Amino acid sequence: MRYTLTDGKTISIPDAEIEANMKLGISKEEAVEMWLEDNEYEVNEEQTALEEKAKGVKIDHGAGTTERKKPSKPRTVHTSDEKKELFDTILKNLDRADGVNRENITVLKENKLIQVKIGEKTFKIDLIEQRPPKK
């Protein structure tokens, strides 16, 4: 079907769409008007108002919430006997260094991190075991 707009421009409207709209119980003129509004040739104030209202509605689908997140298992730290022995040896022999007193040595993490204060300076000793890569 050929239709002439108010500005003089002629467009082609598919007859199948007009007939499908008419099955909704509206007249042919209303079906043509509905097609023009749906394809943005004309403006329907009611439809525009509804679209603006719909843009303002926010739907919370629950995405990103931590409530549904599965609780993580507690991490178990496996420390080798060699690392424990080396850590104890370093800890026992730290006070041999010049300016280091036993009261200035603090264990921050067992078998991992030692803090030593010498005068006004603070040092941390971090013991890291390199494990073979997984295959």
Q: Cα–Cα–Cα angle for 64, 66, 68, nearest 5°?
A: 100
What are the pLDDT digits (tens) for 56-92? 888 777 666 556 667 888 988 888 999 999 999 999 9
> 100 lies in which domain range?
81-126
Q: Are 99 and 116 in contact (CB under 8 A)?
A: no
Is 71 domain-assigned? no
- Alpha-carbon distance values, 103 to 9, 47, 95, 107 (Å): 93, 78, 9, 11
Q: Are 36 and 47 in contact (CB under 8 A)?
A: no
What are the pLDDT digits (tens) for 5-52? 777 778 888 888 888 888 888 888 888 888 888 877 777 788 888 888
Tokens representing residue 97 in the block: 């260094």
Is 68 domain-assigned? no
Structural domains of the chain, count: 2
Is 134 domain-assigned? no
